[in-house]
C-alpha cells in the first residue's frame, strides 16, 4: 500500500468530517506517523478488528467501523430474509468511542433492513454472547479492546451460536469488505428515526435478570461454603462492577470490598494504564485494600469482564495465581464435586487451548473425563460446545485457556468473568470451610500429579518493522529448533502452520516443542497485539526443580528469539 498516496486521499476526501481532516493535517510533517496509520488496512479476521483509535486505514475509527459493518450486513443479506429478520445483537464496553461505534454499527445494519438489538448501557462481553442465544439473532457485535491500553478499541464479530466467528465466516465478511471501495457505499440513515421505527430495539435489565438466573443455577455447593470469606474485587474501571457484585451478593458472600479508585467506568484507566489483570501489576490497588481488610482473595476482571485474575493470601503476602493454576483448580473443583454428587454426564469433556498447561488433563483423567485441545481463543474452545450441541457426541463441561479466560456451562459461548468470579468465590469458600486455602489445594494437586510450572514471555515489536521481525523469528525457530536445553532433549515438534490437518485444527502460526522430561514450550505471534509470545511449561518432582527448568527453557528460547536480526 502506498501510504503517502492513501494519506492524501483521506486528507482530501469530501466524505470525511472536519475533525478527522484536522487530525490528519496535524501529522502532515511526520512521515513515520503517516506510515504507521496508512501502510495497511486494519486487519479483519476471527478476532474482528482491533487497533489504536485515530484517523487512518490502520486505526479504529467510525469509517472503518462503517465499512466493516456494511460488509457484515452484505454477508447477512446473502443468507436471506429470515437472517435479516433474526437480526444482530450489539453491545459495548467503557472505552473511548465504544458507544459511538456501537450506534454507528446499529445504524448501518438497520439502514440495510436488518433488525438490531442494542444494549442500553455498557455490558460485559459474556452478556453479548448470551443475548445472541437469547434473542436468536444471526450475529452479534461487541465493541471492545478487551485488556489493551486506553489508546485502543476493537470490534468483535459473533455468529448465531453466540461464539466469535471462525475462519469460514471471517472469510465471507472479509470478501465483502474488500468489495467496498469507498465509505460512500455504506448505507447509513437517521439513527433516532431508526429507533423510533423500532428497527433498532434497546435491551437491558430483563436480559440481565435471565443471565443472573442462569449463572446462579451453576452453583455446585452452597450450604457447605464459608460465606464469610473476605474478597476484594476490582473491575479495573470496566464493565464488571455491577454484574460481579450483583452475583456475589445474590450468593450471599457477606464481605466483598470493592477498590473505590477502580470501581466506576474510566476510559482513561487512570490508575491502571495497562488494564490487563493477567499482569500482577494490575493488583496494586487491590493489594493495598486487601491488606487493610484482611482479604482471603483478590479478584480482578478486565475492562469487558470476560477474563478473571486472582491473588490469594498465603499467610504472609498475596500470591498471583496465573490462568493455568486457576484453570487446574476450577477443573479439579468442578469435576471432583460433580463426581461426588454423581451428576457428571456421560462423555464429559474439558476443553482447553494447545498452549495451556497439562495439569488439568491429569486431573480430568482421574475422573474419567476427556480433555480436548483446540487452537487459542474461545472462538475455538466454545466452537467445541457448538459442535457437541449438534452431534450430541460429548457433554461440554468447562473450557479455559492460560490467558485467564474460563467458562462453565454453555449458555454463554465465550469466556465469562462474571460466571468465573462466582465459581472462584464458591471454590474459595468451600475449601476455607475445610481449613484450606487455594494454595493448599494447588500443592495437594502437585503432590499427586507432579509440580507444574509455567511462564509466558511476550516480546513487543510494533509497526511494519516489528511485524517483519516476528515473521523472521518464526522462520528461524522452524528451520533451527533447539534440540537440547541443558539435559533435556527434543522429542517432538508440532507445527500448526504446516501439519494442522494432522491435529484436526484450522491452520495457525504456532510451533510447539516437546522434550523428553514432559516439559515443552510454544512460540506464536499474538493475534490481537504487536507481539510474539513464548509459552514455557515444565514438570518435575519438586517445585524448585520445576521452576529451574522454566528459567532454563525461557533463557535459551528467548536468547534465540532476540538473536534474530
Active-site residues, by number, are 146
Domain 40-203 and domain 451-563, same fold? Reply is no
pLDDT at 47: 87
CA atoms within 13 A on the CB side of 6: 18
Q: In the chain, how many H helices and how many E strands?
A: 19, 21
Per-residue pLDDT of the chain (565 residues; tens, 9 = 90+): 799 999 999 999 999 999 999 999 999 999 999 999 999 999 998 889 999 999 999 999 999 999 999 999 999 999 999 999 999 999 999 999 999 999 999 999 999 999 999 999 999 999 999 999 999 999 999 999 999 999 999 999 999 999 999 999 999 999 999 999 999 999 999 999 999 999 999 999 999 999 999 999 999 999 999 999 999 999 999 999 999 999 999 999 999 999 999 999 999 999 998 999 999 999 999 999 999 999 999 999 999 999 999 999 999 999 999 999 999 999 999 999 999 999 999 999 999 999 999 999 999 999 999 999 999 999 999 999 999 999 999 999 999 999 999 999 999 999 999 999 999 999 999 999 999 999 999 999 999 999 999 999 999 998 888 889 999 999 999 999 999 999 999 999 999 999 999 998 889 999 999 999 999 999 999 877 789 999 999 999 999 999 999 999 999 999 999 899 8
Q: Does domain 451-563 have CATH number 3.30.310.50?
A: yes
CA distance 416 to 407: 6
CA distance 310 to 298: 6
CA distance 127 to 305: 10
pLDDT at 527: 76
- Calculate helix-pair angle for 417-433, 205-216, nearest 10 degrees: 30
pLDDT at 211: 98
pLDDT at 152: 96
DSSP secondary structure string for all residues of 334-383: HHHHHHHTT-PPTTEEEEEETTS-SHHHHHHHHTT-EEEEE-SSHHHHHH
- pTM equals 0.95
CA distance 194 to 187: 13
The second-level CATH assignment, the architecture, of 324-449 is: 3-Layer(aba) Sandwich (3.40)
Beta-strand ranges (E) seen in 84-239 are 88-92, 116-119, 139-143, 152-159, 200-203, 230-234
* Domain residue ranges in the chain: 40-203, 212-317, 324-449, 451-563
Q: Give domain 212-317's CATH number out of 1.10.150.670, 2.60.40.4070, 3.40.120.10, 3.40.50.2000.
A: 3.40.120.10
Beta-strand ranges (E) seen in 471-558 are 484-485, 488-495, 511-515, 520-525, 531-540
pLDDT at 1: 73
The second-level CATH assignment, the architecture, of 40-203 is: 3-Layer(aba) Sandwich (3.40)
For residue 279, the SS3 value is: coil
Is 307 within 8 Å of 403 (Cβ atoms)?
Answer: yes
**Residue 451: beta bridge partners?**
540
For residue 537, the SS3 value is: strand
Is 1 within 8 Å of 38 (Cβ atoms)?
Answer: yes
Amino acid at each position: 500500500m502506498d501510504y503517502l498516496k492513501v494519506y492524501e486521499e483521506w486528507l482530501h476526501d469530501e466524505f470525511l468530517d472536519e475533525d478527522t481532516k484536522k487530525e490528519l493535517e496535524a501529522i502532515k510533517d511526520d512521515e513515520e506517523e503517516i506510515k504507521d496509520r496508512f501502510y495497511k488496512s486494519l486487519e479483519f479476521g476471527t478476532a474482528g478488528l482491533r487497533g489504536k483509535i485515530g484517523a487512518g486505514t490502520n486505526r479504529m475509527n467510525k469509517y472503518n467501523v462503517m465499512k466493516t459493518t456494511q460488509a457484515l450486513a452484505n454477508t447477512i443479506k446473502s443468507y436471506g430474509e429470515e437472517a435479516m429478520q433474526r437480526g444482530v445483537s450489539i453491545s459495548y464496553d467503557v472505552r473511548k468511542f465504544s458507544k459511538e461505534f456501537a450506534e454507528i454499527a446499529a445504524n448501518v445494519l438497520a439502514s440495510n433492513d436488518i433488525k438490531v438489538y442494542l444494549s442500553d448501557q455498557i455490558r460485559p462481553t459474556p452478556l453479548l454472547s448470551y443475548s445472541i442465544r437469547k434473542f436468536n439473532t444471526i450475529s452479534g457485535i461487541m465493541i471492545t479492546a478487551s485488556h489493551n491500553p486506553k489508546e485502543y478499541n476493537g470490534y468483535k464479530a459473533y455468529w448465531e451460536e453466540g461464539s466469535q466467528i471462525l475462519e469460514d465466516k471471517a472469510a465471507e465478511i472479509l470478501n465483502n469488505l474488500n468489495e467496498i471501495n469507498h465509505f460512500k457505499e455504506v448505507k447509513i440513515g437517521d439513527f433516532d428515526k431508526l429507533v423510533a421505527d423500532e428497527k433498532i430495539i434497546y435491551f437491558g435489565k430483563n436480559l440481565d435478570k435471565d443471565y443472573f438466573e442462569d449463572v446462579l443455577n451453576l452453583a455446585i455447593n452452597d450450604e457447605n461454603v464459608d460465606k464469610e470469606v473476605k474478597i476484594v474485587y476490582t473491575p479495573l474501571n470496566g464493565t464488571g462492577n455491577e454484574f460481579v457484585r450483583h452475583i456475589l451478593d445474590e450468593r450471599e458472600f457477606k464481605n466483598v470490598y470493592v477498590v473505590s479508585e477502580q470501581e466506576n467506568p474510566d476510559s482513561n484507566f487512570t490508575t491502571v494504564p495497562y488494564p490487563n489483570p493477567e499482569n500482577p501489576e494490575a493488583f496494586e490497588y487491590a493489594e493495598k485494600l486487601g491488606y487493610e481488610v484482611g482479604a482471603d482473595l483478590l479478584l480482578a476482571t478486565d475492562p469487558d469482564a470476560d477474563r478473571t485474575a486472582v491473588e490469594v493470601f498465603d499467610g504472609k503476602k498475596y500470591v498471583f495465581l496465573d490462568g493455568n493454576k486457576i484453570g487446574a483448580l476450577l477443573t479439579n473443583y468442578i469435576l471432583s464435586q460433580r463426581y461426588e454428587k454423581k451428576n457428571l454426564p456421560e462423555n464429559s469433556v474439558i476443553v482447553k487451548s494447545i498452549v495451556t498447561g497439562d495439569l488439568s488433563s491429569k486431573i480430568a483423567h482421574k475422573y474419567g473425563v476427556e480433555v480436548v485441545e483446540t487452537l487459542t481463543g474461545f472462538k475455538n474452545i466454545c466452537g467445541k460446545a457448538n459442535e457437541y450441541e449438534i452431534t450430541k457426541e460429548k457433554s461440554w463441561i468447562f473450557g479455559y485457556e492460560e490467558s485467564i479466560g474460563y467458562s462453565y456451562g454453555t449458555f454463554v459461548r465465550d469466556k465469562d468473568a462474571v460466571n468465573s468470579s462466582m465459581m472462584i468465590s464458591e471454590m474459595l469458600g468451600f475449601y476455607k470451610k475445610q481449613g484450606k486455602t487455594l494454595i493448599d489445594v494447588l500443592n495437594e494437586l502437585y503432590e499427586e500429579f507432579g509440580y507444574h510450572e509455567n511462564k509466558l514471555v511476550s516480546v513487543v515489536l510494533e509497526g511494519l518493522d516489528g511485524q517483519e521481525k516476528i515473521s523472521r523469528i518464526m522462520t528461524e525457530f522452524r528451520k533451527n529448533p533447539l534440540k537440547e536445553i541443558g539435559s533435556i532433549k527434543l522429542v517432538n515438534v508440532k507445527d500448526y502452520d504446516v501439519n494442522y490437518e494432522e491435529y484436526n485444527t484450522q491452520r495457525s502460526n504456532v510451533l510447539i516443542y516437546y522434550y523428553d522430561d514432559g516439559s515443552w514450550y510454544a512460540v506464536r505471534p499474538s493475534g490481537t497485539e504487536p507481539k510474539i509470545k513464548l509459552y514455557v511449561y515444565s514438570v518435575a518432582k519438586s517445585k524448585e526443580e520445576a521452576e529451574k527448568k522454566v528459567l532454563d527453557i525461557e533463557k535459551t528460547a528467548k536468547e534465540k528469539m532476540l538473536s534474530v536480526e
